[in-house]
Structures are given as structure tokens and as C-alpha cells.
């Protein structure tokens, strides 16, 4: 029997697996009959959206029958002011994932290749392979690296450059590792990358990054026309459900992205909420403080448990375990706590845990302690 449907799919689909999202709370609640579930699996803001963003989204609901502003003018104007950048440098996306896809559709095809690091964000391989381009995966820094274990190795990335490479993806900070790259190292890297290659700096976690040696690459945009920086409203701005992100780039790059962009890719409630969220610096500040305190709480408890974790500039932490991360993930699920196994990122000994509110972190830590003591008792 010939596999007609298999032959129907473009060949590259046979190399892809669907993205594995964090398990929704409602699904676990149904499965376990539990009511009090804690989700620390998708790097969402545990304080929720800004109340101003909620009101702004609500105020658009009577216009649900109208198409949204396909150019997102008001949000773009606000972003242009915020970054003191030409409005034509801004591209809005249905989440920043949409922008990543606009990039692969604009600049890659079956003859071309893209570079990204091992353990980098899962959407890079998916969107590169989806357009039939070649994914060149650079080795990460070693597990025993003194500063950034499993982090991006910029020299290894440079070594993979050849004439087919048109795009390089860098997540700063990276998900799932949490590792980051210092601005000077980034600039030295950009100087060495041929200007015929687009460098994508994914700053989805920019607003969480509180480490002293981290800085955004936005300041480098005027120097490098082949640089594009992406940002998201899904993480610290707490609007993951609405799907809004954006990029800053040379206007020529933005023009190309705009040619393949769907006309109404960002909806009205999302545009309004994102615009309002930018005005609520107090909510953002509270969210950052919660994150900083939460990381202190988690790290000190993990130290007491004798567990190693990766350095993080994000709103999540990767914890190394004495057993498979997926087993710990499953044991925690039974206690109503959802974290993320990251064996799909070739880190089978780890789980990735989003920083929650302090009560949520405490419940996670108690459950983790129980899970680990159970398995040691059996051993
Ligand atoms: C969450 C995440 C994104 C994008 O999220 P959107 O919701 O599509 O804006 C992009 N990059 C990284 C590294 C992420 O973790």
C-alpha cells in the first residue's frame, strides 16, 4: 500500500514533530479531579496581566465585528516613542513566534540554511524546517562551563557560516536554559558575521533580565543593518493569551516581512491591551520584583536540597535532577503541579520551572522535596 497522504506532505514535514506546549491547568484538573492546580510550565506572568490592559481589551469588545487596524498604528507609534526608532522599523506579530515565521518565509528556502544553538528555543528548528531550509545546529557551551553551562557558543556559531547560511537565531536570554550573552560579546560577534546574513536576536525575556551584565541589542540596530530584535508581550507583560509580539529592524527588513505578513495578524483586543500594558510601568515593576524575589527563594531552597541549577536571566530556572526530568515532571503532576520536562531540548536530566508567586514556589518546593525523598527511599 502506498502512503499517498505521506507523499502529499512536503518532504520536510517528515522531519518535524508538533511543538509540545505546557500542559493546560484545565486538562490536569480533569484528569486528576483536582481543583487546586499550579502551572509553572510556560513562563507566563504569575501576577496576570496589567488591570489597565484588561480594561483596554474589554473596551474593544463591541467592535468584534470590525477588522482590526491592519497596521497597528497606535501600538507601533507607542513602540516607536519607547525605543526612539522610526515607525517603519517596527513589525507587529501574532506573538513573536509569528515574527520568527515571517523571517523564515522572507529569507529562507530549500537552497538556504539557518544557524541556531543546541538547546535553543524550539520554534527555530520548526520554522526553519517548515520552509524546507537546512538547520545547522551549533554545539552549546559545555556542561561544566564556569559561567554559562549549556549556553550559546558564539564562536561555534561563526564556524558554521557558509554561503548557504542566511539567518542566525540567538535567544538572549535563551529558553529553556536561561543563559544569556553579554552585549560586548554580541557586538564582537556581529562584527564578524557577514552583513549578508540576518542575525535574529530574540529578546522575549528582555523585561525579566535583571543580571548586571545583560543588555538589550536594540542599541546595536543603528550599527548593524542585518540585525533584527524581537520582543514579546507574552512573558512579563502577561498577555500570552492575546498573542502580540514585535520586531525592530532596518526598515528594508521590516518592508520584506510586511510583504508576507497576513493583513490582520494582530487582533484589536490584543493591540489595545499591549498599548495599555506599555503604560503600566508599575505592574511591570511589580512583576520584575516578584521574579527577582522568586528566584532568590527557589535558589536558596535548591541549594538546601543540594540540587544544581543553571544561571538564568529569565522568569524560569532549569533544575538538574538525580533522575530523569520526565519522571519528576510526572510525579509532580500527580501532586497538581505542572512544570516542563525538557528532554525535547536534549536536556533529559532537567526540568524547567517558571517562577511563580511566593506561595506557588513554596508548594512546588514542598512537592519536589517529597518526590525526591520518595525516590531516594526506594533506591
Ligand atoms: C515564549 C518565547 C517566545 C515567544 O512567544 P510569543 O508568545 O510568540 O511572543 C519567543 N522566544 C522565546 C525564546 C520564548 O521563550
Residue 48 CA to residue 233 CA, distance in Å, equals: 12
- pLDDT for position 246: 98
How many angstroms is it from 21 CA to the middle of ligand 1? Answer: 12
Residue 251, CA distances (Å) to 55, 85, 239, 240 in order: 33, 10, 27, 27
pLDDT > 70 in the chain, percent: 99
Per-residue pLDDT band for 377 (boundaries 50, 70, 90) equals low
pLDDT in tens, 194-246: 999 999 999 999 999 999 999 999 999 999 999 999 999 999 999 999 999 99
Residue of the nearest CA to atom 12 in ligand 1? 204
- pLDDT for position 97: 98
Residue 48 CA to residue 240 CA, distance in Å, equals: 10
Question: 232: which strand partners?
Answer: 245
204 lines ligand 1 (CB under 6 A): yes
pLDDT in tens, 286-306: 999 999 999 999 999 999 999
Q: Name the residue of 21, 45, 96 whose CB sits within 8 Å of the most ligand 1 atoms, as the mutation to test its pocket.
A: 96
90-93 vs 245-249, strand pairing mode: antiparallel
Nearest-atom number in ligand 1 for the CA of 233 is: 9
Residue 288 CA to residue 273 CA, distance in Å, equals: 19
CB 272 within 8 A of CB 57: yes
Q: Is 292 exposed, middle or buried (0-12, 13-18, 19+ CB in 10 A)?
A: middle
232 lines ligand 1 (CB under 6 A): yes
pLDDT in tens, 296-333: 999 999 999 999 999 999 999 999 999 999 999 999 99
177 lines ligand 1 (CB under 6 A): no
245 lines ligand 1 (CB under 6 A): yes
Give the residue among 263, 228, 273 at the shortest CA–CA distance from 246.
Answer: 228
Half-sphere exposure of 306 (CA within 13 A, CB side): 3
Per-residue pLDDT band for 2 (boundaries 50, 70, 90) equals confident
- pLDDT for position 18: 85
90-93 vs 340-341, strand pairing mode: unpaired
234 lines ligand 1 (CB under 6 A): yes
How many angstroms is it from 240 CA to the middle of ligand 1? Answer: 9
H helix or E strand, kind and range, residue 350: strand 350-354
Residue of the nearest CA to atom 15 in ligand 1? 175
- pLDDT for position 25: 82
Q: What angle do CA 274, 275, 281 make, to 5 degrees?
A: 90
325 lines ligand 1 (CB under 6 A): no
Residue 224 CA to residue 229 CA, distance in Å, equals: 11
**DSSP letter string, 258-326:** HHHS-TT-S-HHHHHHHHHHHH-HHHHHHHHHHHHHHHHHHHHHHHHHT--B---SSSEEEEE-SS-HH
Is 70 exceeded by the pLDDT of residue 262? yes
- pLDDT for position 29: 82
- pLDDT for position 1: 66
Q: Which range among 13-17, 20-24, 40-44, 355-359 shows the weakest confidence by mean pLDDT?
A: 20-24
Residue 108 CA to residue 132 CA, distance in Å, equals: 8
Select the more confidently predicted residue: 77 or 23.
77
- pLDDT for position 345: 96
Is 80 exceeded by the pLDDT of residue 70? yes
- pLDDT for position 21: 81
- pLDDT for position 22: 78
Per-residue pLDDT band for 378 (boundaries 50, 70, 90) equals low
Residue 368 CA to residue 365 CA, distance in Å, equals: 5
Average pLDDT, the chain: 96
Q: Please name the residues in contact with 59: beta carbons below 8 A apart, sequence gap of 6 or more.
A: 272
**DSSP letter string, 10-33:** -GGGGG-----PPPPHHHHHHHHT
175 lines ligand 1 (CB under 6 A): yes
3-state secondary structure of 99: helix
Exposure string of 167-194, with b = 16+ CB inside 10 Å and e = fewer, is: bbbbbbbbbbbbbbbbbeebeebbeebe
- pLDDT for position 376: 63
Is 70 exceeded by the pLDDT of residue 379? no
CB 238 within 8 A of CB 53: yes
3-state secondary structure of 95: coil
pLDDT in tens, 104-117: 999 999 999 999 99
How many angstroms is it from 124 CA to the middle of ligand 1? Answer: 11
Amino acid at each position: 500500500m502506498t502512503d499517498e497522504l505521506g507523499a502529499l506532505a512536503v518532504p520536510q514535514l517528515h522531519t518535524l514533530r508538533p511543538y509540545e506546549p505546557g500542559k493546560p491547568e484545565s486538562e490536569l484538573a480533569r484528569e486528576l479531579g483536582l481543583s487546586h492546580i499550579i502551572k509553572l510550565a510556560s513562563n507566563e506572568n504569575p501576577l496576570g496581566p496589567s488591570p489597565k490592559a484588561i480594561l483596554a481589551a474589554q473596551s474593544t469588545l463591541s467592535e468584534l465585528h470590525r477588522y482590526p487596524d491592519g497596521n497597528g498604528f497606535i501600538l507601533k507609534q507607542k513602540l516607536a516613542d519607547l525605543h526612539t526608532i522610526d515607525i517603519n522599523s517596527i513589525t507587529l506579530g501574532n506573538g513573536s513566534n509569528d515574527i520568527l515565521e515571517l523571517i523564515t518565509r522572507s529569507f529562507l528556502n530549500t537552497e538556504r540554511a539557518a544557524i541556531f544553538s543546541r538547546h535553543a528555543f524550539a520554534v527555530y528548528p520548526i520554522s526553519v524546517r517548515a520552509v524546507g531550509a537546512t538547520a545547522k545546529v551549533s554545539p552549546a557551551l559545555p556542561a561544566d562551563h564556569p559561567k554559562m553551562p549549556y549556553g550559546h557558543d558564539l564562536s561555534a556559531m561563526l564556524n558554521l557560516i557558509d554561503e548557504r547560511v542566511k539567518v542566525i537565531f540567538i535567544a538572549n536570554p535563551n529558553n529553556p536554559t536561561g543563559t544569556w550573552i553579554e552585549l560586548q560579546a554580541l557586538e564582537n560577534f556581529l562584527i564578524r558575521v557577514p552583513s549578508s546574513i540576518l542575525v535574529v536576536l530574540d529578546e522575549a525575556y528582555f523585561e525579566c533580565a535583571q543580571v548586571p551584565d545583560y543588555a538589550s541589542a536594540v542599541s546595536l540596530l543603528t550599527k548593524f543593518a542585518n540585525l533584527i530584535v524581537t520582543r514579546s508581550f507574552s512573558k512579563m507583560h502577561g498577555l500570552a493569551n492575546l498573542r502580540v509580539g514585535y520586531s525592530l529592524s532596518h526598515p528594508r527588513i521590516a518592508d520584506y516581512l510586511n510583504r508576507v505578513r497576513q493583513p490582520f495578524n494582530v487582533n484589536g483586543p490584543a493591540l489595545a491591551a499591549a498599548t495599555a500594558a506599555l503604560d503600566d510601568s508599575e505592574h511591570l515593576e511589580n512583576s520584575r520584583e516578584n521574579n527577582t524575589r522568586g528566584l532568590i527563594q527557589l535558589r536558596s531552597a535548591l541549594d538546601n536540597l543540594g540540587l544544581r541549577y543553571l544561571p538564568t536571566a529569565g522568569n524560569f530556572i532549569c533544575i538538574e535532577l538525580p533522575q530523569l526530568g520526565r519522571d519528576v515532571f510526572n510525579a509532580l503532576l500527580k501532586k497538581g503541579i505542572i512544570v516542563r520536562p525538557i528532554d525535547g531540548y536534549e536536556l533529559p536530566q532537567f526540568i524547567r520551572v517558571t517562577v511563580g508567586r511566593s506561595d506557588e514556589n513554596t508548594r512546588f518546593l514542598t512537592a519536589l522535596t517529597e518526590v525526591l525523598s520518595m525516590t531516594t527511599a526506594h533506591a
